[in-house]
Amino acid sequence: MSFFKKLKETISRQTDAVTEKFKSGLEKTRNSFSEKVNDLVYRYRKVDEDFFEELEEILIGADVGVATVMELIDQLKEEVQRRNIQDPRELQAVISEKLIGIYQGDEDFENELNMQDTGLTVILFVGVNGVGKTTTIGKLAHTLKSEGKSVLMAAGDTFRAGAIEQLEVWGERVGVDVIKQASGSDPAAVMYDAIQAAKARNADVLLCDTAGRLQNKVNLMKELEKVKRVIEREIPGAPHEVLLVIDATTGQNGLSQAKTFREATDVTGIVLTKLDGTAKGGIVLAIRNELNVPVKFVGLGEKMDDLQKFDPEQYVYGLFADVVEAQPE
Ligand SMILES: Nc1nc2c(ncn2[C@@H]2O[C@H](COP(=O)(O)OP(=O)(O)OP(=O)(O)O)[C@@H](O)[C@H]2O)c(=O)[nH]1
Ligand SMILES: [Mg+2]
């Protein structure tokens, strides 16, 4: 069976709503990146050096990242030789397969949250200003609540004016309580309070907001470490996840932010927001390949159900939906 047919089958095992989210969220990237690939494979008569050079440019233009692109191109060249592929059009499926391969190739890719079977699961959100931490917490609270879990949110951003209120608005919208203190108070004290409240109420999950930070390593370390220390002290083994939120529209800059954060704290997963707002959705692949931290969620819009578990197959389908759907039955 052809790769695209297999992909179509895999996708059809999930609900259409999920497929639709990925498809509409990736529209900009599809219209730019996939159109270019499509144009390329129809323009060339044979697969040669010039073909690969153009492909390389397209991939780099989609923010796949230079190192990742080089690896991909090598893999593609190998595959072309091995299968003796002459017709560029055959490469469209091979390219898609290799893109998925970046995620599937390694067995420890894990998009599930590390949820505790019993007791409280604490999830800490970190990242620079404006990337979508607070919004992501609101969306995730909604998702977890609809799965039947009892959720609390901690207003750990005591720094930015309006930050606490913003979380409270989300709390009202999704029906989840927010534990807070006055603006300007110590974030670590808020976390302490929130953990006591979560314990007292037997909550399943505590989602902890933090202030957007500059990429200043020393301050970053100090603040985050203090918050983490309090959480660790109150609940051994917590925080169970430290999710670094990255804005996809910042491209390679987001990748460098991620590297700084990874050095400063144990990041267990990435939330890549605003994928819907960029034509350069290839950044998902660069993150996996160059950071070795899994993308656990992607933000595909601003509404409460626009946060989706990252799924490499849905992602690639979203990129090439037009081509996949045009495949004969
Ligand atoms: N289109 C789109 N917008 C998003 C997404 N996620 C967040 N946003 C928007 O990004 C903006 C910033 O989001 P916040 O959640 O306030 O970001 P933050 O990281 O908490 O920012 P600070 O608290 O200032 O550090 C808001 O306008 C959100 O609606 C997404 O997946 N798609
Ligand atoms: Mg915020």
- Residue 109 pLDDT grade (very low, low, confident, very high; cuts 50, 70, 90): low
Statement: residue 106 has pLDDT above 70? no
Statement: residue 325 has pLDDT above 90? no
For residue 163, give the ligand 1 atom closest to its CA.
Answer: 23
Tens digit of each residue's pLDDT (9 = 90 or more) over 124-143: 999 998 999 999 999 999 99
Statement: residue 15 has pLDDT above 70? yes
The predicted structure's pLDDT at residue 80: 95
Atom 13, ligand 1: which residue's CA is nearest? 132
The predicted structure's pLDDT at residue 232: 96
The predicted structure's pLDDT at residue 220: 65
Please tell me the least confidently modeled range out of 159-173, 215-229, 230-244, 270-284: 215-229
Ligand 1 centroid distance, CA of 157 (Å): 14
Handedness of CA 20, 21, 25, 26 (dihedral sign): negative
Query: Would you say the CB of residue 127 lies under 6 angstroms from ligand 1?
Result: yes
The arithmetic mean of pLDDT across residues 192-210, rounded, is 97
Report d(CA 272, CA 224) in Å as an integer: 20
Query: Would you say the CB of residue 213 lies under 6 angstroms from ligand 1?
Result: no
Ligand 1 centroid distance, CA of 274 (Å): 8
Helix ranges, 147-251 (H): 163-174, 187-200, 217-234
The arithmetic mean of pLDDT across residues 209-225, rounded, is 77
Q: Do domains 3-109+317-325 and 121-310 have the same CATH topology?
A: no
Ligand 1 centroid distance, CA of 129 (Å): 9
Query: Would you say the CB of residue 281 lies under 6 angstroms from ligand 1?
Result: no
The predicted structure's pLDDT at residue 108: 59
Statement: residue 210 has pLDDT above 90? yes
- Integer angstrom CA distances of residue 212 from 155, 156, 314: 13, 10, 30
Residue to mutate, 28, 133, 135, ligand 1, most ligand atoms under 8 Å from C-beta: 135
Handedness of CA 241, 244, 245, 249 (dihedral sign): negative
Ligand 2 centroid distance, CA of 212 (Å): 6
Top-level CATH class of 121-310?
A: alpha beta
Statement: residue 215 has pLDDT above 80? no
The predicted structure's pLDDT at residue 280: 93
User: What is the pTM (predicted TM-score) of this model?
Assistant: 0.94
Please tell me the least confidently modeled range out of 29-43, 54-68, 158-172, 283-297: 283-297
Tens digit of each residue's pLDDT (9 = 90 or more) over 164-180: 999 999 999 999 999 99
- Residues with a beta carbon under 5 angstroms from ion ligand 2: 133-134
Asked if residue 320 lies in contact with residue 30, where contact means CB atoms within 8 angstroms, the answer is yes
Q: Give the burial class of 32: count Cβ atoms within 10 A of its Cβ; 0-12 exposed, 13-18 middle, 19 or more buried.
A: middle
Query: Would you say the CB of residue 171 lies under 6 angstroms from ligand 1?
Result: no
Statement: residue 271 has pLDDT above 90? yes
The predicted structure's pLDDT at residue 105: 60
Q: What is the 3-state secondary structure (H, E, C) of 236-264?
A: CCCCCEEEEEEEHHHCHHHHHHHHHHHHH
Top-level CATH class of 3-109+317-325?
A: mainly alpha
Tens digit of each residue's pLDDT (9 = 90 or more) over 245-268: 999 999 988 888 888 888 878 899
% of the chain residues with pLDDT over 70:
96
The arithmetic mean of pLDDT across residues 99-120, rounded, is 82
Statement: residue 101 has pLDDT above 80? yes
- Residue 103 pLDDT grade (very low, low, confident, very high; cuts 50, 70, 90): confident
Long-range residue pairs from 77-82, CB within 8 A, at least 24 positions apart, any chain = 77/52, 80/47
Domain boundaries, the chain: 3-109+317-325, 121-310
Ligand 2 centroid distance, CA of 134 (Å): 4
Please tell me the least confidently modeled range out of 57-71, 229-243, 279-293: 279-293
The predicted structure's pLDDT at residue 300: 98
Q: Provide the β-strand partners of residue 125.
A: 243
